[in-house]
Amino acid sequence: MTAKELNKLIRIGEGFTVEFKRTPSHIGREICAFANASGGRILIGVDDRGGKVGVRNLNRS
């Protein structure tokens, strides 16, 4: 996905096929919901208002 495509998804906002998650925790519900529907995209590191907050590297010690 390009930065332009990402920005377009954020501008459109959350809906039936797009979900914003600030952190990757508790992501299972969204994955199951999209798997049981027609699919979609989960944008991790984006808050509910569409702000890019990023995520810290959880794999680092």
Asked, for residue 49, whether it belongs to a domain, the answer is no
pLDDT at 13: 95
CA atoms of 38 and 51, how far apart (whole Å): 26
Asked, for residue 53, whether it belongs to a domain, the answer is no
Task: Cite the beta strand spans of the chain per DSSP E.
Answer: 18-21, 41-44
Domain that holds residue 39: 3-44
In the chain, how many domains are there?
A: 1
Average pLDDT over the chain, rounded to an integer: 89
CA atoms of 36 and 47, how far apart (whole Å): 24
Task: Name which residue leads in pLDDT, 11 or 38.
Answer: 11
Tell me the sheet residues that pair with 18: 41
Asked, for residue 55, whether it belongs to a domain, the answer is no
Each residue's pLDDT tens digit, 8-34: 999 999 999 999 999 888 889 889 988
Asked, for residue 32, whether it belongs to a domain, the answer is yes
What pTM value is reported for the model?
A: 0.80
